[in-house]
Structure 1
């Protein structure tokens, strides 16, 4: 067996099966200990904000425009799973005033150590054809599979950390972006904040005229008055509509992956046929909202599980009279504290959804 054939055989019969097992175990742990993981992240973020403010009070740091959580593949070979967390001014990488701490992500990457130990033994059956360097290379290439869990955890905690007094106290640029990704490589927004107020009419026009070629995504659309807006087949993923007035609005067959609607007024609105994977409706007013035929379909392909790890969040929302007829892939949903008087729910979710007895009694179960 030549080198290339041996690598393909090793990857197919040893590396990939072991990776799948570890990712399944990590996903179970991610959901089981989510509250503690979010708490730890919040404490880490609090420390960062205190450090930023201290530097600013000493005149060593300009208003913050970027906060970046970076993973470094080189450290992974040393089994050091610390993210570098850096705060930059609006000039981003041109800001040469170092402001950095670390975030311990070993909870997500610890399986890599287990895999390295196992694979190091299994490669030996290939009689020297596969080296330790080959195994290390495979492990480094798998880093994004573990990063996706950190990405999802940061998203889950972001709404809380940006309300902390320590974050509110730091001096910010006109636009702040909190991002994550590989160090000085591809990254994505977790949170965007504009200090300047957006004009509702301007945003309405941008939403209406967005297209597949120019989608309107990853934007901060908080505290806007946009009632009765009608949007069809728009890509609005990861937009933040929190605290906005969107009464009687229509979002028909839109892509709303990872969008946030916390404390929004969505009474009488429709999300019919929308893709709602990882969407956050916590504390929102959804009285009479129509979710018929909506989907929470998670992404599952060759170890990729994002979007889909965060689940749908309806904690403390008002869902009285809402319609969940024919929704699908809604297994991972949280309704803690939500009111559901007269909410229409397919009977198949009786066993899947974790509901209080009061919620079960107030729901109208449909076939």
Structure 2
């Protein structure tokens, strides 16, 4: 079996089967624990609002124009299953006044990590025809499947999050946006101005 044949056999025999297995597990967890997960998401949103408000009170931050949850692939490779939460003024990523917190996404990405372990174990059946970088590349292709669960949770939760007194107390732009996406990549618009957007649009934008 040459390398091309080995990769194709590995993909059809192990990758596709294991992806389905772990996505099914994550779907079950999501459905069973969505309210608990939602409460934890709201806690993270409250924290970033409190941090932004404190900066505003110190004169270090203007009106908030964007609140963004960002997935970073470099973190995932390091097994840091965290999203960075940032509050920006109207300059978005060019805002020089950093306001950050962390959202723990391990409830979803721990399954991604387990998928990687299983793929690495099965790779050894191929006698080094398939190498570890092949596994890392294959694993990175699956990130969006797990990331989608974070978007779903955010969409489920966003209305309650934006009713928090900590959010309402912020000095905000009229068209403030709340987004979830990949760091300086595609992001999903969940809320704009005073309105939850997830049922009205499936907008994805590239901010690179």
TM-score interval, normalised by the smaller of the two chains: over 0.9
Deviations 1:58-89 (A, max 9, x none): 11111110111110111111211000111111
Q: Partners of 1:104 and 1:237 in 2: how far apart?
A: 22
Deviations 1:110-164 (A, max 9, x none): 1112112111111011110111111011111110000110000011110001001
Relative to 1, partners in 2 of residues 1:133 and 1:149: Cα closer, same or farther, differing over 3 Å? same
Q: Partners of 1:66 and 1:237 in 2: how far apart?
A: 16
Question: Taking CA–CA contacts closer than 8 Å with sequence separation of 6 or more, which of the two structures ends up with the larger relative contact order?
Answer: 2
The 3-state SS of whatever aligns with 1:33 is: helix
Unaligned runs of 5+ in 1: 195-219, 223-235, 240-256, 259-367
Question: Within 5 A, what are the aligned runs for 1:260-271?
Answer: none
Corresponding position of 1:156: 156
Task: Provide TM-score, normalisation by structure 2.
Answer: 0.93
Q: Partners of 2:166 and 2:17 in 1: how far apart?
A: 44
Q: Which of the pair is proportionally richer in strand?
A: 2
Task: Provide TM-score, normalisation by structure 1.
Answer: 0.53
For the aligned residue pairs, the C-alpha RMSD in angstroms reads 1.6
Corresponding position of 1:57: 57
Q: Partners of 1:3 and 1:72 in 2: how far apart?
A: 30
Deviation at 1:237, TM superposition (A): 7.1
Q: Which of the pair is proportionally richer in helix?
A: 2
Q: Partners of 1:2 and 1:84 in 2: how far apart?
A: 42
Corresponding position of 1:211: none
Please tell me whether residue 72 in structure 1 is matched to residue 72 in structure 2: yes
Q: Partners of 2:183 and 2:3 in 1: how far apart?
A: 31
CA contact (8 A) 2:191 2:198 kept: no
Deviation at 1:174, TM superposition (A): 2.4
Q: Partners of 1:73 and 1:2 in 2: how far apart?
A: 30
Unaligned runs of 5+ in 2: 203-208
Deviation at 1:2, TM superposition (A): 2.2
Corresponding position of 2:13: 13
Q: Partners of 1:106 and 1:25 in 2: how far apart?
A: 14
Q: Partners of 1:56 and 1:5 in 2: how far apart?
A: 59
CA contact (8 A) 2:3 2:130 kept: yes
Deviation at 1:24, TM superposition (A): 0.6
CA contact (8 A) 2:173 2:193 kept: no
Which structure is larger by alpha-carbon Rg, 1 or 2? 1
Deviations 1:267-326 (A, max 9, x none): xxxxxxxxxxxxxxxxxxxxxxxxxxxxxxxxxxxxxxxxxxxxxxxxxxxxxxxxxxxx
The 3-state SS of whatever aligns with 2:199 is: coil
